Chains A and B, each alone.
Chain A
Amino acid sequence: MSTLLQIDDLHVSYGAIRALRGISFKVDKGAVVTLIGANGAGKSTLLRTISGLLRPKQGQILYWADGNGGSEQPCRLSDLQAHDVVRKGVAQVPEGRIIFANLSVKENLQMGAFTRNDKAGIAQDMDYVMSLFPRLAERIKQNAGTLSGGEQQMLAIGRALMSRPRLLLLDEPSLGLSPVLVQTVFATIRQINGNGTTILLVEQNAHMALTTAQTGFVLETGTIALSGPCSELLHSDDVRRTYLGEN
């Protein structure tokens, strides 16, 4: 497998507070990789740094647009601003969705395609998003603020897909959703991955995350405490006790 994203010794601070203390890992092209951890472990900080909303204090984020880890010159995402990171093919569904409540569903999706000018391609991706989330098609002209929580999550995912990302970052897509909707959202994540998009998934719902992804990392107070194939993590005593609530 070829590497799409590589994070080397990443340190991020909020003033004196050190949120990430030397994180290193790789994401292979075509994979679903998950980061699990408790509140305050630094999960959202990591995704915000990859997306260019935060600057690392130390370390770097390397990205190979066509997933050739090593053979081609990588792009240093850690030097780019948020809007340029999107242009490179990395989209994020932020924590709490942050859909534009003052815009219509359609306008939200159009904003997702802000970096693109290919009308035909945008229309095609609009259809793709509608096929993933038929509910959005019914509400296309509605103000996005009037959508239910689940619909808003669907819109947030659809909006991120509109930039036709190679790498999709998902920050707690299960947050605030009913168990049935969580199942739906994760089924969609698998479907999106099946269509060729690499996924980096941050979750507190460790069970759903570890059964969806192939590789997992456990983040504790800004460092990676455990890592490995998800099948192994699911059976690790530490993970079972701390994150799956089993004895």
Chain B
Amino acid sequence: MSQFVQQLVNGLSLGAIYALIALGYTMVYGILRLINFAHGDVYMVGAFVGYYLGRILNAGAASSSPSVLNFFLVLGGSMGACALLGWVLERSAYRPLRKAPRLNALITAIGISLLLENLGQLIFGADPKDFPTLVERTSLSVGIVTFSNIQLIVIVTAIVLMLGLQYIVHRTKMGTAMRAVSFSHDASGLMGINIHRVISFTFVLGSALAAAAGILVGLYNPKIDPLMGIMPGLKAFVAAVLGGIGNIPGAIVGGLIMGVAETLTIGYLSSTYRDAITFVILVAVLLFRPTGLFGTTARAKV
């Protein structure tokens, strides 16, 4: 029993990271009907921006002792940098294809993904790097469960960001416009909504969340490399499909389920199957519930 609860806690912190990435997939799909396959690589860039920022901050600190302040600086800096990256990608790669067949944009997304992976290897180097220690790892025990302060930080940060997203999407004018554009581009244009700006904003939001996931994974599992985005990107995509692509709460629930499924597989079967379970879930969803847990037919939401 204690092992089960333990794996559940591990799974939720891993799943929170998948969920943050899945949100970007699902928002972009909701608004453009585009699977942005470069999204996992934006997460990788986020981790690397955090890596360099963290090293600079740790080197600059006289005592070179890790601090929570540094964590927030790294998180904010990386989210900002990737927000900019997302904006540039949308502007330069996807916007010129707005009127082209959807397949063109999909293939472009795969191209951008390969470009980012190879640029990453060129610029950052192909060898794995140790993510700088931003927060000293300590263990906390509650009853039978032991977890690290890092896991706590991952889960709390993810929850705060998700609540922030929920606020933006449901309580602000821009968020309401996002939902409107996801329903109909033409009708949104007739309301005076600049759909290009709304689409840019969606990429900015999604990329910032992916960057946050990159920082959290750096804290949690501190080996990063330029191809680290591929597998989590795929898993987050499956999470978005599992929740019903285009659906925000679905992406969160899907991400958490994926994380828990993975740690339970590691705990009870073998860590060899940790990636396989992802695709078992994907096949099962596509066979039995193609619209996902919260998906509705055709009518997609952001």
User: Which A residues are closer than 8 A to B by beta carbons?
Assistant: 51-53, 81-83, 86-87, 91-92, 94, 98-103, 107, 110-112, 114-115, 145, 159-160, 163
Nearest Cβ in chain B — how far from A155, in angstroms? Answer: 12
Is B186 engaged at the interface, CB distance under 8 Å to the other chain? yes
Interface of B is mostly: helix
Taking CB atoms, residues of chain A closer than 8 Å to B188 are 111
Top 7 A-B pairs, shortest CB-CB distance: A82-B189, A86-B192, A115-B192, A98-B187, A83-B194, A114-B192, A111-B191
Is B193 engaged at the interface, CB distance under 8 Å to the other chain? yes
Judge whether A92 and B190 touch: CB under 8 Å: yes
Nearest Cβ in chain A — how far from B296, in angstroms? Answer: 9
The residue on A at minimum CB distance from B186 is: A53
Inter-chain pairs besides A53-B189, A53-B190, A102-B301, 8 sampled, C-beta below 8 Å: A82-B190, A91-B190, A94-B187, A98-B186, A98-B187, A111-B176, A115-B192, A160-B190
Interface centre among B180, B187, B193 (most CB of A within 10 A): B187
The residue on B at minimum CB distance from A92 is: B190
Taking CB atoms, residues of chain A closer than 8 Å to B47 are none
Interface digits, B7-47 against A, CB 8 Å rule (1 contact, 0 not)?
00000000000000000000000000000000000000000
User: Which B residues are closer than 8 A to A by beta carbons?
Assistant: 173, 176-177, 179-180, 182-184, 186-195, 299, 301
Give 28 CB contacts A-B under 8 Å.
A51-B189, A51-B190, A52-B189, A53-B189, A81-B189, A82-B186, A83-B193, A86-B190, A86-B191, A87-B192, A91-B190, A94-B186, A94-B190, A102-B179, A102-B183, A102-B301, A103-B183, A107-B179, A110-B176, A111-B177, A111-B180, A111-B188, A112-B191, A114-B173, A114-B191, A114-B192, A163-B191, A163-B192
